[in-house]
Amino acid sequence: MKHSLKLSPLFIALAATIPAFAHADDEASKDGFIEGSSLKIHTRNYYMNHDIRSPHADDSKEWGQGFVGKFESGFTQGVVGFGLDAYGMLGLKLDGGGGTDGSSILPVSDGNGKAPTSFSSAGAALKIRAFDTELKAGDLFLTNPVIAGGETRMLPQTFRGVSLTNHSFDGWMFEGGQASFNKPYNQSGMRRLTTTYGNLDDQTSKHLTWAGASWSGIPEITSNLYAAQLKDVWDQYYYDLDYTYAVSDSISLNPGLHYYHTRDSGKALLGDINNNTFSLHLALSMAGHKLTTVLQKVNGNTPFDYINQGDSVYLDNSQQYSDFNGPNERSWKLQYEYDFAGLGIAGLTSSISYSRGELDLTKADANSIGYGNWYNPQGKDAHHWERDLGLKYVIQDGKAKDLAVSLRWATNRGNDAYQTVDNDVDEYRVIIDYPVDVF
C-alpha cells in the first residue's frame, strides 16, 4: 500500500490559516515600487578540473565566466502592494573543448566534444505583499531543506512556480509553494523536475509541493520542520535542531541534528522507497579554531535522494564531491576550520576534513525501478573516503571590497566494490566572486 500525503490541500490550508496581523504603520508599503528597488550584479569566474582516476576515463576541465543580474522592486503603496523581481544570466566559455567538457559548469556538448561558447537565461516573478505575507509567482530562487536551488557552480539553479512566506509571529517563518520546472545551473532553458540519483527513464515529475516552518525565537537555537511531495515519486519530511552554547566569550559548543524521512507515493515512478537518513554534529569553537565531528546514517535500501542539481541535501556529511548517502551507508567526518583574523589577516579562512563511508550494496534492491544500479552482489564491504581542503579570502575594504577567491580540492577514493557505483576522483576548483550593488 502506497503512502501518499496530499500536500496541495495542506499548502492551501497553511495559506488560509496564516493570520493577517499587522501594525498600523504596516498597512501601507513604506518604500514604494521604485524607491524600494535594487539592482545587483554578481560575477563569478569558475575553473573546475574533474580528474577521474579510473583507467580509460576522460578528464573534464572547464573554465567559464558567469554574470547574474537581479532586479528587485519595492511594492506599490496600499494595504496590498504589488512588485516585480527579474533576473538575467549569462555564461561564457573561456576553455572547455576538445573532449575536456562535461565538468558540469558549462552545458553538455552538442556531440562534437565542445560546449557552446555562451548560454543565457532570463526570468521574472510577480510578487504581492499584504501585511506580513508575501506571494510570488514566476521564476524563483528557492532555499529550504526540501527544495533549494544549486549554487555551487558558475550560475545558480532557478525554479518556476509559486511560493508564499509569512512572518506574522516573532521568531517564526512559515512558507509553502509549488514548483513545476527548473532551470539547471549549466543550461539555458527550463526542464521538468528530476532527481539526483534515481533513474526515471526519461520520465519526469509534474511538480514538487512543499510547506514548512522555521523557528529562531531564542538566539542560540534554530529549528526547521518541512514536508514535501514530488508528485508520483515521493513524500519527504525534514526536521533539524541546532543549538549553540557559549561556554565563555571565546569558547562555544554547537550540537545539531538533521533528519529526513522519504516514502514513495502516487505512481511510485522510482519504485519502493522507505528511507530514514540522519546526521549528528558536534562542533567546538575556540578563538578562531573550529573542530567538528559528524556521524551520518542512511537507513534504507535506496540512497537518500533529492532534486537534481539542487542543494536540498542538508546533511552534515554532504561534501564537495560525495554526499555519503548510499543505501544503508554509515559515515563519519572530522573537520577543522581556522579563521586567520586572529593572526591579523581578516577575510582569510581555511578548512580541512576527512570523511569515510561504509556500504553494504548487497542489500540494495536489484529490481528497483529507480535505484537498481546500486545493487552489487560483491558489494558487502564497499567503502570510500574523501579528503577536502579549502582556502578562501574576501577583500575587506577598498574598491574591490567583497571580492572573494576560493581554492577547493577534493579527493575521493573507494575500494573495488564501491567502484561499481562511482569512480576515484581528484577535483580542483578555483572560484572568484565579485558582487556589485548597482543601486
**Can you give the residue ranges of every domain in the chain?**
7-30+133-437
How far apart CA 268 and CA 299 sit, in angstroms, is: 19
The grid coordinates of residue 45 equal: 569566474
- Judged on CB neighbours under 10 Å (0-12, 13-18, 19+), 43 is middle
CA neighbor of 215 nearest in space, from 253, 250, 164, 172? 172
Helix (H) or strand (E) segment spanning residue 14: helix 7-17
The grid coordinates of residue 217 equal: 525565537
How far apart CA 102 and CA 107 sit, in angstroms, is: 8
DSSP letters along 336-364, please? EEEEGGGGT-TTEEEEEEEEEEEE-GGGS
CA neighbor of 128 nearest in space, from 9, 225, 20, 13? 20
Distance of alpha carbon 37 from the chain centroid: 27
Protein fold of 7-30+133-437: Porin (2.40.160)
Distance of alpha carbon 412 from the chain centroid: 20
CA atoms within 13 A on the CB side of 184: 17
The pTM score is 0.91
Distance of alpha carbon 107 from the chain centroid: 19
CB atoms within 10 A of CB 377: 10
CA atoms within 13 A on the CB side of 218: 9
How far apart CA 293 and CA 334 sit, in angstroms, is: 5
How far apart CA 21 and CA 168 sit, in angstroms, is: 6
**Which residues in the chain come in under a pLDDT of 70?**
1-30, 55-58, 97-101, 109-113, 202
